[in-house]
Structure 1
């Protein structure tokens, strides 16, 4: 069994799992499509939200920016993360309180303004397009590399898989597939970080590895990266 076999095994197995979860959690009502049936545990919801942050736009695009721009590229990561935190703290909790499903509906009702609603729609479209462009670029790069197909074909394959589990499960199915994605991404992030820290500094904890001295040198890892 060669490299191609294992590549297809993990790709098909991973997305097969996502589709199986979508079938298991398939939507049975409009509530399942909009608000996941109101029965998702906060911890599960948090895992799904974290997976959304750690998606292709972060896992590939942000990593690529930092790799090409160096230490200074981390400002993009901080802005990306900071915006997510502000959204979670200042906007998301109030959607349910106001009984709204979309940000423009909430903003329009909160400020009693059709103009505010229109501005929110424009902002939402702009942000969504920017985000989806990054996502689709990541999907195309990943699938074309894994499956050995054209970039555009990779995008179509990825979109087809997302379409299947989104249509089957609605918000409920997407939430649980995001939880599975969270587990995969945490593993993919953590294992290399642990071994890189162990090899470079001898410390298996990456966070402590940053302030530990590089093997054979009298300088911390963070100091050498800067």
Structure 2
């Protein structure tokens, strides 16, 4: 079988796994649908959050920004990551404490204001649409490359699959689907990084490889070389 056939098989099996997880974890109540019944372990939540960070919008978008903007683009990467940390520390615990399912509900009850609730709704919609637009564009690009289809069709396929397991499983299904996605992504990220580090520096640990000298250019570290490329960009 050629590469294209293997691609169809692997992608198909991956999404079949996601849908199977969603069906197995399908929500049986409103609480399970919105907050997974409060029974997801911290480890699973952490893996799901990490998978969300390593999404199409962040991975493709941030890589593109840094490639075109050089080191100045890393500001967006730090802001993106810092935003996740701030949300996890300053907002998520209080949503759980107040027993609310959405940010507008929490803000409205916390500040006893319907106006604050409406402002929170507008902000949530604006941020969500901005994020989803980039996410769906990334999905369309990925499907168009791997499945050899038009980007628009790729977006539709991706939306249909996400809609299916989101509706079936709710937050519980999405969380465990994200856990599976994390395992796939961390493997896909780690293998090329380790291989490139070995090829360039002879060091199998990418983090240590940054400070190691290049095999073909003794006395020049990989980090210095990358800094030079970023400056030139």
TM over 0.5: yes
Distance across 1 between alignment mates of 2:109 and 2:220:
56
Q: Could you give the per-residue CA deviations for residues 68-124 of structure 1, whole angstroms, max 9, x where no partner exists?
A: 222222111111101111111111111010111111111122222222222221211
Distance across 2 between alignment mates of 1:127 and 1:210:
35
Distance across 2 between alignment mates of 1:34 and 1:9:
32
Distance across 2 between alignment mates of 1:125 and 1:59:
22
Partner of 1:109: 109
Pairwise CA distance, 1:171: 0.9
Partner of 2:22: 22
Partner of 1:221: 222
Distance across 2 between alignment mates of 1:219 and 1:112:
60
Provide structure 1 residue ranges, at least 5 long, that are not aligned to the other structure: none
Pairwise CA RMSD of aligned residues?
1.2
Residues 23-42 of structure 1 correspond to what in structure 2 (within 5 A)?
A: 23-42=23-42
Partner of 1:120: 120
Distance across 1 between alignment mates of 2:220 and 2:134:
36
The aligned length equals 226
Could you list the runs of 4 or more consecutive aligned residues of structure 1 that deviate by over 4 angstroms after TM superposition? none
Tell me, what secondary structure is at the counterpart of 2:193?
helix
Distance across 1 between alignment mates of 2:165 and 2:88:
25
Provide structure 2 residue ranges, at least 5 long, that are not aligned to the other structure: 228-233
Pairwise CA distance, 1:205: 0.8
Pairwise CA distance, 1:67: 2.1
Pairwise CA distance, 1:212: 1.4
Pairwise CA distance, 1:136: 0.4
Partner of 2:150: 150
Distance across 1 between alignment mates of 2:210 and 2:117:
45
Q: Could you give the per-residue CA deviations for residues 156-191 of structure 1, whole angstroms, max 9, x where no partner exists?
A: 000111111111111111111010001001111111
TM-score for the superposition, normalised by structure 2: 0.93
Distance across 1 between alignment mates of 2:66 and 2:187:
21
Distance across 1 between alignment mates of 2:127 and 2:190:
29
TM-score for the superposition, normalised by structure 1: 0.96
